[in-house]
Amino acid sequence: MRTQIAIIGAGPSGLLLGQLLHGQGIDTVILENRSADYVLGRIRAGVIEQGMVGLLEEAGVAARLHGEGLVHGGTEITFDDTRHRIDFKKLTGKTVTVYGQTEITRDLMEARAASGAPTIYEAQDVTPLDFDGEKPRVRYRKDGKDHELACDFIAGCDGFHGVSRQSVPAGSIELFERVYPFGWLGILSDTPPVSDELIYINHERGFALCSMRSHTRSRYYLQCSLAEHVEDWSDSRFWDELKLRLDKEGRERLVTGASIEKSIAPLRSFVAEPMRFGRLFLAGDAAHIVPPTGAKGLNLAASDVHYLSRALVEFYREKSSAGIDHYSGRALARIWKAERFSWWMTTMLHRFPESSGFDRRLQHAELDYLVSSSAAAVAMAENYVGLPY
């Protein structure tokens, strides 16, 4: 079998890249090691920048997002039991859209199926080969048979634990990492959200976030210790802890109910440099991770795909390798800004186990500055709604 671009991974990065390239007449085959249902069962991000909305429009998959997504013109930040609003629309002219990653993935999967472009689910032992030469290939096994896919380029869109980054010789890649000493316990419930906008909460018992998926479905997160087990968190224990971290109005308005998903995610900052190795490119979580506090993970995956799709179109249309030569540098410049913002939001809002009285006073001063200085609020808003591509 042969294709122009072999894409490893059918998460948002791989599916969006496939759809954008298909729109430009470039052939792709996607190899995914899980089933489509498993990929759709993962509950993850929920906040979409305008830049990503534009890419989804370009890919022809934004109709449901425009119908069902919730446009938010600001967010709330709570500390000292007091809520403050950061008005994105007034400060930057931009908004964000609340629409689940699961729904984006579903829309992309349906569009790909309709286009007839192949996705091979449950492909085992996917292995990128010979990407340092002119004729890269990807080997995989399906239903007990070995297969080989010849291609012009390989796009490694296979997430943090994927095979693409791990196939690069150790001497050719540099890794940068920070692991945080806590995780997020998240639940999804069919209850109306506690507020019209998201609430980021700094509290002495730990960070909390009130988010949503629709007017009838809520997503809440609590900072928790990494030693916690999800089985030890009954729904009532979760709601009791959330009430302790909410302000008075939030406590009174919170509607509780049965959870439909509950999971714990660790927090990490991670960047791999560079993002191109001959004819292999990394995109999305395969190349970088941010802690979720700034809602940047999915949006960064989309900006990588933006740069990569344009570079590949330029290669085929104009016979120019300028775009692919600049891909890594362009993507990394944006990635490091999002890494900085996500680290800053995480540091400002969480309770660090080792923090001293001095650290806590500084954290309070940072929050106080954010809500009392328009320059500080603009800087936060500009990063949250997304820097230009």
List of residues contacting ligand FAD (CB under 6 A)? 8-14, 31-34, 39, 44-45, 101, 126, 157-159, 161-163, 265, 284-285, 292, 295-298, 301
Question: Min. distance of Cβ 54 from ligand FAD in angstroms?
Answer: 17
Closer residue to ligand DHB, CB minimum distance, 45 or 385 = 45
Q: Does 350 bind ligand DHB (CB under 6 A)?
A: no
Position of tokens 């298909």? 22
* Of the candidates 339, 18, 302, the residue with the CA atom closest to the CA atom of residue 153: 18
Contacts of 252 (CB under 8 A, 6+ apart): none
Q: Is 69 in the site for ligand DHB (CB under 6 A)?
A: no
Site string for ligand DHB, 171-200 (x = CB under 6 A): ---------------------------x--
- Answer with the entry of ligand FAD, ligand DHB, none that 39 interacts with (C-beta below 5 to 8 A by kind): ligand FAD
CB 8 within 8 A of CB 157: yes
C-beta of residue 14 within 8 angstroms of C-beta of residue 107: no
In the complex, the smallest distance separating the C-beta of residue 44 from ligand FAD, rounded to whole angstroms, is 3
Which option in ligand DHB, ligand FAD, none does residue 162 bind, with CB closer than 5 to 8 A by kind?
ligand FAD
Binding string, 216-245, against ligand DHB, x = CB under 6 A?
A: ---x--------------------------
Token couple for 296 = 């940047």
Task: Tell me which of ligand DHB, ligand FAD, none is bound by residue 293, counting a contact when its beta carbon lies within the kind-specific cut-off of 5 to 8 angstroms.
Answer: ligand DHB
Catalytically annotated residues: 72, 200, 292, 296, 384
Per residue, what are the HEC states of 197-241?
A: CCEEECCCCCCEEEEECCCCCEEEEEEECCCCCHHHCCHHHHHHH
3-state secondary structure of 178: strand
Please give the torsion angle defined by the CA atoms of residues 63, 68, 74 and 75, in that order, rounded to the nearest 10 degrees. -130
The one among 7, 10, 45, 96 contacting ligand DHB by CB under 6 A: 45
